[in-house]
Structure 1
Amino acid sequence: MNTLKKNLAELQQLAKKRTVKTQSIEYDLETLVKKITRKTIKLDPEYQRNHRWSEETSSKLIESLILNIPVPLVYLSQDVDVDADDADGLARYSVIDGQQRLTAIYNFMTNELALEGMEVLKPLNGSKYKDLPPFLIRRLEERTIKCLRIDSTLDPQVKYDIFERLNSGSVKLEAQELRNAIYRGSFNKLIKDLAKQEDFRVLNQISLDKPDESKKVQKMEDVELVLRFFALQNNNYKNLKKGFKVFLSDSMEELNKLSDDELIGLRSQFVKTMKVIREHFGDQAFAKYRFENLEFVQMSKFNAAVYDALAIAVADEVNLDDPDFSKLNSTTFKELFKNSNFFDSVSGSVNDKEKVSTRIDAVKGLLK
């Protein structure tokens, strides 16, 4: 108690600094769409996940809005003081929670979404906004959504705190989506950029023409795979103790502390590794096989555990500028699937320490 009294001034200052200032407001949908179009409201701040609602889910939200069914509160962060001299041209608000809902509304009211899966208003299935009768257009334009505007102009950390608290323990976010929100920094930006690299996408079986249609991209699973690469390399996989999700999160927090020069080195290593693997092992280098009836049967074109095994072994053991694959090649690598220990290490629950070590060490053994 004495310690608390001594620190009272510090506690008061901290509480004052981090107290959230909010304002409740209702926007009609017409106004919201205009603000999003003018970029006054930013739908995709760096800590947000990708939009990944299906067209049917989006349509059901539109149906709820037409029927005046209540929808959850939208949380907006006020990032720029509206009275500031340099505020023109900047997004004044970003979305902390409600991105999926606002994106669905925006896509429909700009005729990017055709309704499907409507349960009550079935005659509207297949319709775009421009196809609606005038009375429904008026109803939607005038329908309001309650928003809570949060002033984070004084302390940018506020919006991240709120985002984390709103989503902590929630099933709404995938693991990497939550890391993207919490462990922000230069490394986080790097892995999101590297996930778009051509060789990686081809090896990951992600379409180069329509990558946004991939579930891996929508859920940021591709970004998590890039994180896995950096978290496991340099024999760091031997330090896996607390569980794979915690291991990846701890690794991301540490890697965000790297200097710009170190990040440049990581970028170069990843790009070279994917290029070398694609050149020497083909576009399906990370495929999984089963050996049965004296032949190899392909079980999948991409397997994350196989990716760990080959990518980490190559990154750790191969001179990427002058690679020697005399011992490790497509044939010798595929032979590993005959080994029951290796096959087990890329099957079932694959992320415990023993399985991770078994599969990576097995591929490294071919390079010795």
Structure 2
Amino acid sequence: DITVWDLHDRSTWELVLPSWETQSNATVHNLFIKGNYAHVSYYSDGYVVLDISSPDAPYLIGHYDTQSLWGCYPYLPSGLTIVSDMNTGLYVLEFTPGEVSPTINHSGTPDVFNNDPVTINAQIVDNGDIIEANLFYRTTFNGTTSSWNLVTPANQNSNYQFTIPGFQHLTNIEYYIAAQDDYGYVVTLPEGGSGTGPAGNLPPSQFFSYSVVITGLPVLHSFTPGGDTTVVVNSEFDIVVYAEDTTGLELIYSWKKNGIVTNETSNIYHYRAFQIPAPPRTDSIEVTISNGYFSLSNKWVVHISPATDVKDNEPVLTYQLEQNYPNPFNPETQITFSVPSNEFVNLSVYNLIGEKVTELVNENLSPGRYNINFNGDKLTSGIYLARIKAGSFDRIIKMILLK
């Protein structure tokens, strides 16, 4: 082995490093210092160059193997080094300083959508032999972080495969990869780790990570209106969807009108049939519901007809729920609706969490146009939904009580 002493004070020898040796524990024949490098005849391990810029932590920087290296001489004017081997003769070598250490390549792992084991692939290369490769991982779940766990690889040539066990939903896994070569050099990826027994047992400060998110599509339970609908110009109504995610993830709502993204981000879209472009025409309304990983969508086509004055003695030809007036209101407002045939009609008012606050109509009605008064004097200020059901007609409007 090699011992390092500090001789700045020639009267006192200070031991800096008691021992440094190769994996094979070969015999040191002679050693020469040139700059920040130690040139060593390491007998059966050949010609070895160490970087000694940090005397207490020398590391291998160059190596050329012969069978029985007996001596080396690095001081030729040309900068070349001559080495002699008892069996194979004289060699002339050129030493160019450079890192001779394992190199690990790995690009990380995306989020995982099941609890199956995860295979981590890494490429580890070295000028010599890799004698040990490891993966260390730890988990965090519900705020509790585990200790580091060791995984050894299955490998073929320089391609290594590490298998991390599967974990439950919303578990976060951090990991790093370590390798040690046949001259004792240890590297980790991400960089910064060290240690031996096992190699890389002292972790770096940064890690690769992925999360386990076990989820499916959001579930769309119901929506109103139930399909395409026809309204007159200047009509207003709410399109409402009721959805959930079975794994409890928050749902994100994105609405488009005629292919253009709107500012609506809730499960309610307030639609108004504007006068421009002039009717008759159609608008398309589309909602995309996402849990951050998967999504689904639904689409409505709204047919807009020109406005007509409905007189009391004129027949009603279509179902309609008009926007209440006034709106906002305090405390009373009028809700107007039309039914074109004898129909059982229910008109109720709900708050935003789906609780029914009052039932205004619940009976059979003959064809016609109806005005219903709604009094909110016993309610708090806020947004309320008026919903009408008449046969297959199902419509909601948003009303604002402002006290």
TM-score calculated relative to the size of structure 1:
0.18
Could you say which structure has the higher strand fraction?
2
Could you say which structure has the higher helix fraction?
1
> Highest Rg: 1 or 2?
2
TM-score calculated relative to the size of structure 2:
0.17
Highest relative contact order (Cα 8 Å, sep 6+), 1 or 2?
A: 1
